[in-house]
Structure 1
Amino acid sequence: MSDRSTPRSSAVRLDAGLDVRRSSDRFASSFGWLDSKHSFSFGHHHDPANTHHGLLLVNNDDVVDAGTGFDTHPHRDMEIVTWVMQGSLVHQDSTGHSGIIYPGLAQRMSAGRGILHSEKNDSWRLEGQAHTDPVHFVQMWVVPDESGVVPGYEQLEIDAELMSGSLVPVASGMKQHDGASAIRIRNRYAALHAARLQPGQSVELPDAPFLHLFVPRGAVVLEGAGPLATGDAVRFTATGGQKVTATEAAEILVWEMHATIAA
């Protein structure tokens, strides 16, 4: 799929609503070494009615076997945020950046005018012994609000902040999150929040023209919509402020978006 799209402000009137998408309804790809579930059209899976929500083009839920991964491949004009749930992932790119991404580490790659990168399961322990553990991560793509910028990379550990059980701004280009989010993205209309919740803990969702709630682990109840299980998602339009309450240990990822992609 193309990495290039154009965002526009959502100044038009929107009809408020919630669209619950169950885990079993996602597109699925399996290549032996990779099991991937796609919230939106991706690769050979294409549905013209399911290409994005707000500024979010990709929400891939990936499990990669040890010693395997995505070989070097290109991207352009895309903000790519990777959130690891279990295991560790090695990132290398053509700008010379490299890093190991693990749970609680926020990571963003700005593809800008063009970048090459690879992502592999970190299949070696610190003492040098191989392991067979898969890596489970969610990769999310949002469009930038300016094309052709210099590619960039940023990562920061926020595990301590997540221990609070509150909704933590992970990646944001919004002015109100300047200095508060772990990492910055190049879109002033978008922000990613995350929360780790214990049973009974609740968080309140932000209010925005477009929200996307994804449950990569555990089970929660969404006010006004009911139970959500692992892999379920909800697309919000012109609404927000609902409570999300964990019924078992859970993690949630929430995109707050104040613009959408031009048709």
Structure 2
Amino acid sequence: MIIERPSSARGHVRTDWLDSRHTFSFGGYYDPAWMGFGPLRVINEDRVDAGAGFPPHRHANMEILSYVISGGLAHKDSSGGGGLIGPGELQWMSAGHGVEHSEYNGSPTQPVHFLQIWIQPSRLNHEPAYAQRAAVAADARGWTLLAAPDGRNGSVPLRQDAIVRDVRLDQGESAEHVLDPARLYWLQVVQGTVSANGRELQAGDALGFQDESGPLRLHGGGQGRADVLLFDLGH
């Protein structure tokens, strides 16, 4: 089964400093048909005005990833984690048994655009933890591993049977990943235009794959470089 989640169908929250699109139910946006996908619970596409952000607040028992598209995101948490996350960089915060944190736009003049991603952990009440992964190289070709349970190859170490990969595709370039029907897959287009097994997708569009096998073939289209995330998830 292939599940389509067009960008335009996502939940939308707008405040005086935040423009946020919600793939799954979150905060004031609730849709019982979109409560998550396997352990993947949240994908919010946030645009935060200069100098604004999320003040200190508390989370527990969630793996939280922030993937910056443009601008800079300033993070600080009670476990000692913190820093400025730039374009293409990935931040991991495992909330564990509880952690207080804040996220602010790191610039007084420019907006920040990023994805906030939540994945449910496989076990409750870990010690909180934090890590940051450098941006994918500008000349990278093929899939790049961003997150994995064992933190291999420089990825951040998720506390769940979940793997996150990234691929960048210029017009005419292609990439392939073989789907295992025993696993779930969520394909999220971050930027640009791609086709996925013949389906044309724009930034913000997504596809979910359940009980699917065989190759997932991606082809870059449009004028700019496409950026695509693939979540490889256990049930």
Q: What's the TM-score bracket when you normalise by the shorter of the two chains? A: over 0.9
- Is 1:114 equivalent to 2:98 in the alignment? yes
RMSD of the alignment, in Å?
1.4
User: Which residue does the alignment assign to 1:184?
Assistant: 157
Q: 1:206 and 1:122, CA in 2 relative to 1: closer, same or farther beyond 3 A?
A: farther
Pairing 1:184-223 to 2, within 5 Å after superposition: 184-187=157-160, 189-208=161-180, 209-223=183-197
TM-score, normalised relative to structure 2: 0.94
User: Which residue does the alignment assign to 1:168?
Assistant: 144
Which of 49, 61, 74 is the equivalent residue of 1:65? 49
Q: Is the 8 A contact 1:54 1:211 kept in 2?
A: no
Residues matched between the structures, number: 230
Instruction: For residues 205-229 of structure 1, give each alpha carbon's deviation from its aligned partner in whole angstroms, at most 9, with x where no partner exists.
Output: 34242111111210001114x2101
Amino acid at match of 2:165: H
**Aligned-partner SS, 2:212:** strand
**Aligned-partner SS, 2:153:** coil
Show structure 2 runs of 5+ residues with no match.
none
- Is 1:255 equivalent to 2:228 in the alignment? no
CA distance in 1, matches of 2:178, 2:55: 37
Q: Is the 8 A contact 2:68 2:88 kept in 1?
A: yes
Q: Is the 8 A contact 1:207 1:239 kept in 2?
A: yes
- Is 1:26 equivalent to 2:2 in the alignment? no
- Is 1:36 equivalent to 2:17 in the alignment? no
CA distance in 1, matches of 2:90, 2:34: 27
RCO higher in 1 or 2 (8 Å CA, sep ≥ 6)?
1
How far off its partner does 1:181 sit? 4.7
**Aligned-partner SS, 2:34:** coil
CA distance in 2, matches of 1:48, 1:179: 35
Q: Which runs of 4+ in 1 moved over 6 A?
A: none
User: Which residue does the alignment assign to 1:126?
Assistant: none
Q: Is the 8 A contact 1:163 1:196 kept in 2?
A: no
CA distance in 2, matches of 1:113, 1:84: 26
Q: Is the 8 A contact 2:177 2:216 kept in 1?
A: yes
Which segment is superposed worse, 150-159 or 82-91?
A: 150-159
How far off its partner does 1:182 sit? 1.8
TM-score, normalised relative to structure 1: 0.84
CA distance in 2, matches of 1:184, 1:89: 21
User: Which residue does the alignment assign to 2:207?
Assistant: 234
Amino acid at match of 2:37: H
Kindly, what percent of the aligned residue pairs are identical?
Answer: 37
User: Which residue does the alignment assign to 2:127?
Assistant: 150
